[in-house]
């Protein structure tokens, strides 16, 4: 893989500085759920969170191809969940597939050769096995978009999100893949996630008081973890390739416990989230 262009370098920096720490609210989320109200509970939560992340990294290094497929799948689900409006199970499923699929499928199809190089850096080998899967998903995604259009016609409340999706699709078609990902991750997903978490947490006086210190702690942990992963997986590859591996394997490692906590446990407690 050749040297990264300036826009992609800026994109990676934004992902690290803005995107990665958005999971730093997980400490405050755990507090609101009662998991960190004692020192023992706090330490236990940190240990379990880190252990899950470490296991994800180990799984990726042992089974990189499968790990990449699973990562793309949970990316679609997690991003899609954050962009949905209330509705029936089918309506929400269409929204999840549309919003989550746009960043993964559209970017891959618009920038096939560039994305292929990124995938190969992430798994340390060829990625031919993945493209037939993505191609099938592309046909399914086209159908999802058609259903979403009908749904938005029937429910005017969805039209703003559908317009947002269309604008992002155009942006993904013209921006380099890393820049397109950063646009969504840092400019749409992170602010939306932080605002929704904050609105849910501010109902609790304890949550308001404790958010900032926990955010700082988890931000430092996420950045420190990145440095450690960088040191662990250094190879003869270029620095650019190693940085890409660290960032996206790190994202996978943090996304799994983040989804368990936010999309699972926290969502059950806060149905309006």
**Which two tokens mark 252?**
């996978």
Q: What is the pLDDT of residue 229?
A: 64
Q: Please report the pLDDT score of residue 147 as a whole number.
A: 95
What pLDDT sits at residue 26? Answer: 79
- What DSSP letter does each residue of 199-258 carry, written as one string? HHHTTSHHHHHHHHHHHHHHHHHHHHHHHHHHHHT--SS-HHHHHHHHHHHHHHHHHHHH
Residues of the chain with pLDDT under 50: 205, 207, 209, 236
Per-residue pLDDT tens over the stretch 32-54: 777 767 778 778 888 888 899 88
Structural domain boundaries of the chain?
6-267
Res 204: pLDDT:
58
Query: CA 211, CA 24: separation in Å to the nearest integer?
Result: 9
Which pLDDT value is given to residue 237? 55
- HSE on the CB side for 36, CA within 13 Å? 22
pTM of the model: 0.86
Q: What is the pLDDT of residue 16?
A: 84
Torsion of CA 178, 181, 187, 192, to 10 degrees: -150
CA angle, corner 53, sides to 92 and 48, nearest 5? Answer: 95
What does the pLDDT read at residue 111? 95
pLDDT value of position 107: 95
Q: What pLDDT does 176 receive?
A: 94
The reported pLDDT for the residue numbered 101 is 95
């Amino acid at each position: 893989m050749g040297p990264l262009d300036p826009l992609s370098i800026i994109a990676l920096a934004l992902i690290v500085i803005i995107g990665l720490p958005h999971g730093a609210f997980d400490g405050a989320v755990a507090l609101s759920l009662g998991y960190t109200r004692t020192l023992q509970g706090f330490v236990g939560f940190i240990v379990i969170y880190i252990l899950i992340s470490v296991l994800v990294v180990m799984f990726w290094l042992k089974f990189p191809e499968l790990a990449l497929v699973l990562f793309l799948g949970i990316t679609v689900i997690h991003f899609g969940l954050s962009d949905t409006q209330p509705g029936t199970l089918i309506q929400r499923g269409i929204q999840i597939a549309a919003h989550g699929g746009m960043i993964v499928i559209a970017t891959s199809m618009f920038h096939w050769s560039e994305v292929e190089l990124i995938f190969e850096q992430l798994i340390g080998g060829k990625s031919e096995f993945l493209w037939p899967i993505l191609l099938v998903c592309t046909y399914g995604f086209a159908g999802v978009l058609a259903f979403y259009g009908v749904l938005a016609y029937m429910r005017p409340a969805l039209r703003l999100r559908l317009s947002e999706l269309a604008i992002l699709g155009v942006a993904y078609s013209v921006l380099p893949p890393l820049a397109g990902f950063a646009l969504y991750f840092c400019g749409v997903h992170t602010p939306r996630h932080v605002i929704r978490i904050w609105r849910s947490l501010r109902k609790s006086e304890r949550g308001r008081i404790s958010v900032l210190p926990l955010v700082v702690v988890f931000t430092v942990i996420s950045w420190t973890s990145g440095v450690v992963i960088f040191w662990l997986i250094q190879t003869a590859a270029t620095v650019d390739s190693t940085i890409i591996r660290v960032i996206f394997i790190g994202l996978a490692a943090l996304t799994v416990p983040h989804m368990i906590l936010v999309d699972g446990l926290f969502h059950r407690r806060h149905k309006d989230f």
